Amino acid sequence: MLHLRVTTPADTTERIVELLSGCPGVASIAVLRGASVKPPGDMVLAELARESAEDMLSSLRELGIDRSGTIALESVETSISQAAEKAEDDAPGEGADAVIWEQVVRRADEDSVLSNTFVWFLSLAAVLAAIAIVLDSAILVVGAMVVGPEFGPLAGIAVGLVHRRRSVVRQALVTLVVGFAVAIAVTTVLGLIASWAGWIDPSVLTAERPLTGFIWRPDRWSFVVAFIAGIAGILSLTSAKSGALVGVFISVTTVPAAGNLGLALALGDAAEMGGAAAQLGINMAAIVLAGVLTLLVLKGANGRLARLSARRTPVA
């Protein structure tokens, strides 16, 4: 269930109440007259099934509430109510499959912002990956993958392309370019320091690395794995379940490739530079392509579901 809070001018309150009353996925409605000070007007509260949220948001925007008032959605962790159970049963589809597109776009936009935190996490992840290569440690590679925050802007590019939000695409591209540039530069500088200190030498890269050698050797499976991970990541982003994102982070070698590239730059290994750069590019391209295709499929499926629901729901 979701909690919907709407602040609206008093002259549109009744229309909102009628809209909510006619929705089978709404469990409860409350109106607080004159409760809103800024913007001045009323406050309407409702509990509704996640499956009904997208259509309700679209209807509220058609009324102009996003301009004259405010619309807010919050997740309800626990709802003990027969009315809520009935609303979930009456709403078309399943809550786990329902996509709230406005929420997806705003989350993608937020996750794509270039911040000090993003750069720090990406730099630390790249350094961890470089250490993993030096030690040939699969565990450290997994750790670097989990720490890396790069999926956010990659998903932002896909969401921005599908929803034609150029600002989101532009912001995500800047975040990726700046973030990876800084992360690779930090890894390179630390690699140079380690080389000067005698901790590492070029043989680190030329030696057999059975556990981490795959990082700079892209093949057909590199694209396939990244593509599948991109699908899983977008499904997690658009659904009510986000636990799958951890699996996405662990399965894609974007951060390890960046760490390998920084280390190769520090030790002057041109072959590993090219391989790591190719691996990084293949992974990012596959994730974005998978994201775009998955979003298009989801939009098409949701559109068909909405049309079927409209045919089955009697007009009041």
Asked if residue 160 and residue 22 are part of one domain, the reply reads: no
Peptide bond into 39 cis (omega under 30): yes
230-252 pLDDT per residue, tens: 898 888 888 755 555 655 666 67
What span, in angstroms and rounded, lies between the C-alpha atoms of 92 and 149?
A: 35
pLDDT tens figures, 48-74: 888 888 888 888 988 899 899 999 988
The full length of the chain comes to: 316
Same-domain status, 58 and 134: no
In this predicted structure, what is the pLDDT of residue 312? 46
Task: Using DSSP, state whether 242 is helix, strand or coil.
Answer: coil
Select from 98, 115, 150 the last residue of a domain: 98
Note whether 16 and 145 are same-domain residues. Answer: no
Is residue 313 one of the residues assigned to a domain? no
Query: Are residue 111 and residue 163 in the same domain, yes or no?
Result: yes
* Residues 87 and 17 reside in one and the same domain: yes
pLDDT confidence of residue 311? 47
Is residue 123 located within the same domain as residue 81?
no
Q: In this predicted structure, what is the pLDDT of residue 243?
A: 54
For the sheet containing 26-36, what is the strand order?
Answer: 26-36, 41-48, 2-8, 70-75
Reported as a single tens digit per residue, the pLDDT across 154-206 is 999 999 999 989 999 999 999 999 999 999 999 999 999 999 999 998 988 88
- Final residue belonging to a domain, choices 98, 132, 149: 98
pLDDT band of 99, cuts 50, 70, 90: confident
**DSSP labels, 119-183:** HHHHHHHHHHHHHHHHHT-HHHHHHHHHH--THHHHHHHHHHHHTT-HHHHHHHHHHHHHHHHHH
- Does any domain span residue 316? no
Residue 293 lies in a domain: yes
- Which band of pLDDT confidence, cut at 50, 70 and 90, is reported for residue 313? very low
Domain ranges, residue 251? 103-302
Rounded CA-CA distance 34/16 in Å is: 15
In total, how many domains does the chain have? 2
Residues 132 and 87 in one domain: no
* Residues paired with 2 in a beta bridge: 48, 75
Task: Please check whether residue 309 lies inside any domain of the structure.
Answer: no
Residues 262 and 286 in one domain: yes
Q: Is the pTM of this model over 0.75?
A: yes
Is 311 inside a domain boundary? no
Q: 58 and 202 share a domain?
A: no
Give the separation between CA 136 and CA 132, rounded to whole angstroms. Answer: 5
33 and 116 in one domain? Answer: no
Phi, psi torsion values for 45, nearest 5 degrees = -115, 140
**Which CATH number covers residue 39?**
3.30.70.120
Last residue of a domain, one of 98, 130, 146: 98
